[in-house]
């Protein structure tokens, strides 16, 4: 099968979604001339979304630092010597107050992240209350709590959780270079439990960690072969943090990042593709290219867990300059 011909057919309105992408097909998309790739991605985007709307989400760290995992990019790991100070799980009222503030600033989804390997005991009960209370504020809810078992996924669903975030981070081939305390299969198992519980999946990865293009191809193939596709696909640019093993990683070519966004849009036409970590180091022009390539979701606010994010006023000005409408 000709990869380019197959890709073109997938873009026609009314074509069924595909869950059988092959790595040579994904590689063929990455190899397209840059302008051709963005043109195709924009066509797919317009067939499935209002082209000038961008979903606004806010992410709050509800439990910071002290994580036993050894993810090489993360300043919250106990294995790395960073400036992040461990903080316990926030109280429910403080989380609700932050959610109200996010809603007033224009967010439609409120995401809560805890630096855990997996939630346990009374902390999990408090998390369930957070879901219920934040949803009562009229916001979509998303959680990232580490690994879940089947019963925890079921209880989160019963509490009304809309989305669960659990990233694959990178390709299966490169994964062992980044983390040793949790397997790729562990991540896939949590995603399976979330799906079985009827919760929408938020699942993506991080680029710029020293991986090859072949790893970015393999990561996107893993995501695009999930059935159904993740409803949200965060594409993160590595934020290099001093004290982590990846603190001195070589910066990824910005055009390669935009290519990754565009290929994600083509492979997963109906998923929200989110610009997540790393926006603070992107120029306005680079972000504009990402929006043209099909990104249609961002995190709004000055902090993403423990790393910087563009100020809200800066985002509003960029949206006005580009004629984008936050939703």
Give the angle 297-303-305 at the CA atoms, nearest 5°. Answer: 90
How is 191-230 classified by DSSP, letter by letter?
HHHHHHTT-EEE--EEE-SS--HHHHHHHHHHHHTSSSPP
**Each residue of 221-260: b (16+ CB within 10 Å) or e?**
bbbbebeebbbbbbbbbbbbbeebbbbebeebebeebbbb
Say which residue the tokens 């935009």 belong to.
258
Look up 111 and say whether it is catalytic.
Answer: yes
Catalytic site residue from 18, 40, 109, 202: 202
How far from 262 is each of 91, 269, 290, CA to CA, in Å?
40, 10, 7
Catalytic site residue from 40, 67, 109, 187: 67
Catalytic site residue from 18, 40, 71, 203: 71
Catalytic site residue from 18, 40, 109, 111: 111
Look up 67 and say whether it is catalytic.
Answer: yes
Catalytic site residue from 18, 74, 240, 259: 74
Look up 290 and say whether it is catalytic.
Answer: no
Look up 74 and say whether it is catalytic.
Answer: yes
Catalytic site residue from 18, 40, 109, 142: 142
**Each residue of 38-63: b (16+ CB within 10 Å) or e?**
bebbbbbbeebbeeeebbbbbbbbbb
CA 227 to centroid of chain Cα atoms = 18
In 3D space, the residue among 165, 53, 58 whose CA is nearest the CA of residue 103 turns out to be 58
Say which residue the tokens 């926006």 belong to.
279
Asked if 77 contacts 70 with a C-beta cutoff of 8 angstroms, the reply is: yes
Look up 225 and say whether it is catalytic.
Answer: no
Look up 203 and say whether it is catalytic.
Answer: no
**Catalytic sites, residue numbers:** 67, 71, 74, 111, 142, 202, 274
């Amino acid at each position: 099968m000709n990869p380019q011909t197959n890709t073109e057919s997938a873009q026609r309105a009314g074509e069924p979604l595909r869950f059988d992408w092959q790595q040579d097909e994904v590689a063929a998309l990455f190899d397209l001339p840059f302008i051709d790739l963005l043109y195709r991605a924009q066509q797919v985007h317009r067939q499935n979304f209002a082209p000038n709307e961008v979903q606004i989400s806010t992410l709050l760290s509800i439990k910071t630092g002290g994580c036993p995992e050894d993810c090489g990019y993360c300043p919250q790991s106990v294995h790395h010597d960073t400036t992040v100070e461990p903080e316990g799980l926030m109280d429910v009222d403080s989380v609700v107050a932050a959610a109200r503030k996010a809603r007033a600033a224009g967010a439609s989804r409120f995401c809560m992240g805890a630096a855990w390997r997996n939630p346990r005991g009374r902390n999990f009960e408090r998390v369930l209350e957070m879901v219920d209370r934040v949803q009562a504020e009229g916001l979509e809810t998303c959680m990232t709590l580490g690994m879940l078992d089947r019963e925890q996924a079921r209880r989160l669903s019963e509490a009304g959780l809309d989305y669960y975030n659990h990233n694959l981070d990178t390709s299966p081939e490169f994964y062992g270079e980044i983390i040793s305390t949790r397997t790729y299969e562990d991540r896939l198992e949590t995603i399976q439990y979330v799906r079985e519980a009827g919760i929408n999946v938020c699942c993506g990865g991080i680029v710029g960690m020293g991986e090859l293009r072949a790893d970015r191809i393999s990561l996107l193939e893993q995501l695009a072969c999930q059935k159904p596709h993740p409803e949200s696909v965060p594409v993160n640019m590595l934020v290099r943090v001093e004290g982590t093993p990846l603190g001195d990683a070589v910066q990824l070519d910005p055009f390669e990042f935009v290519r990754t966004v565009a290929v994600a849009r083509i492979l997963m036409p109906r998923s929200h593709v989110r610009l997540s970590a790393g926006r603070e180091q992107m120029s306005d022009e680079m972000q504009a290219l990402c929006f043209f390539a099909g990104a249609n979701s961002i995190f709004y606010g000055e902090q993403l867990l423990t790393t910087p994010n563009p100020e809200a006023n800066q985002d509003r000005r960029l949206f006005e300059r580009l004629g984008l409408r936050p939703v």
